[in-house]
Each structure stands twice: as structure tokens, then as C-alpha cells.
Amino acid sequence: MVTVFDLDDTLYDEIDFVKSGFWAVASSISNVPQEPFDFMWNLFLKEGSGSIFNKLIEHFHLQISIEFLILTYRTHTPNITLADETIILLNKAKSFGSTALITDGMAQMQIQKFNVLGLSKWIDYPIFTDLYNTSKPNPLPFEMVMKHFKNENKFIYCSDNPKKDFFAPNQLDWLTIRYKNSYGIYRDILSNATYETTSRLAIIPLIQNYLFEK
């Protein structure tokens, strides 16, 4: 059996990366970063992530390009950690069989997150879809997992986003588990996974039951 995880808002809360990125941006433009950080954070809470950097430049009259701010955000070393329940989940998943990861997003950014979180301790086969010029819901990364673990016949995908994450694994007859992250931007979207849970720990018995299912 192979348990495959998404990264953002599944193994850690992406809101922590957003905060970390805003602080990196604020520190790059000011020796007193609290004010620009608060500006970005309050704007994010009110309006989402759409045009924060444009408004930051305008509000603080910055002589700097938006491309620089975006690059700073995406390439900074993030201040993120795994929750205790994520570590328990990963340990259990590893004890049940093989593990993999499929994550979209800029490869450098996603690899940086992977490394900072120390996920190589648990993940046997990480796939950063950007390196293969693809992204979910394209079935390619899921097919890559099946090819890599060609002797396995049970696959599970644990993720958070019903808009793109579960179409391919559902079609490939995987078990799909939606972790409904209460902090995530997709929390109000109806699930199309086999199971849904609001607790990472509740994923464990679902994996275990599938392992012993005939």
C-alpha cells in the first residue's frame, strides 16, 4: 500500500507560510518590518491574497518592483513546522507501507517547504509537479506514483482541495481522503473524496482499515 499526501494545508497549515512570507517581504523593505507586515496581514484577512503587493507598493510609496516582492515571498526560507498530529500521522503512514507526496506550486518554493519541514524522513517519493510541467488535476503525477510503486495495488491520496485534487485519483480507483483544514481557503467547498475529516489523526484509522481490507 502507498499513502500519498498533498503538502499545503494538508501536512501543515499554509497560513503559516503566508505569515512567514509576509514577514520576509516586510523585512526586505524596512528595518522596522512590523508596520508593513501588519498592513499586508490585515489586507489579507479582509480581501485575500489578490493584489496585496501592489497595494503595499502604493501605500508605502516603494521604489521597488512587484516582481522583487513576489520572488522574495516565494524563495524565502519559511518559518513553518509540522503539528504534533501530523508527525503522528506520518509515522503511522510510514509504518503501514510506502509513502509519496504530490504537490503543485513553484518547484523551488515547494522543495524549500519540504526541506524545512524535514519531510524526507517520512516521504519515500516526493513529486513536485512543476518540475514535470504539469499540475493537478492532470493524472500524470498520480500515474508516476503507480509506476514507481508498480508492485503495489492499493493507493491513498490525502489532500485538502476538492477543486482539483481528487478527480484523477478517483478515476484511478484510489482511496481519497479530504482533510478539511479549518484554516484553509478551500474549507467551504464540498468534498468529492471517498472520506472527509477535520482531524489529521482521524485519517489514521481510514488508512489502517484500507490496509487490511480485502
CATH number at residue 102: 3.40.50.1000
Average predicted confidence (pLDDT) for the chain: 95
Domain of residue 46 covers 15-75
Domain count, the chain: 2
Same domain, 62 and 87: no
Same domain, 65 and 86: no
How many CB atoms neighbour CB 107 within 10 A?
A: 14
- Encode pLDDT of 138-164 as tens digits: 999 999 999 999 999 999 999 999 999
Q: What percent of the chain has pLDDT over 70?
A: 100
Same domain, 104 and 67: no
Same domain, 20 and 89: no
H-helix or E-strand spanning residue 114: helix 107-116
How far apart CA 87 and CA 94 sit, in angstroms, is: 10
Q: What percent of the chain has pLDDT over 90?
A: 90
Average pLDDT over residues 99-109: 97
- What is the pLDDT at residue 214? 67
Closest CA to 195 of 160, 168, 163: 160
- Encode pLDDT of 106-135 as tens digits: 999 999 999 999 999 999 999 999 999 999
Looking at the DSSP assignment, which residues form a beta bridge with residue 149? none
Nearest 5 degrees, angle CA 118-CA 124-CA 128? 75
Same domain, 154 and 207: yes
How far apart CA 140 and CA 40 sit, in angstroms, is: 36
How far apart CA 8 and CA 104 sit, in angstroms, is: 9
pLDDT band at 49 (very low <50, low <70, confident <90, very high): confident
Same domain, 47 and 69: yes
Residue 103 has pLDDT above 90, yes or no: yes
Same domain, 9 and 24: no
Strands (E), the chain: 2-5, 98-103, 125-128, 155-159, 175-179, 195-197
Average pLDDT over residues 68-80: 96
Same domain, 71 and 90: no
- What is the pLDDT at residue 174? 98
Contacts 24+ apart (CB under 8 A), 30-39: 30/60, 36/60
How far apart CA 42 and CA 44 sit, in angstroms, is: 5
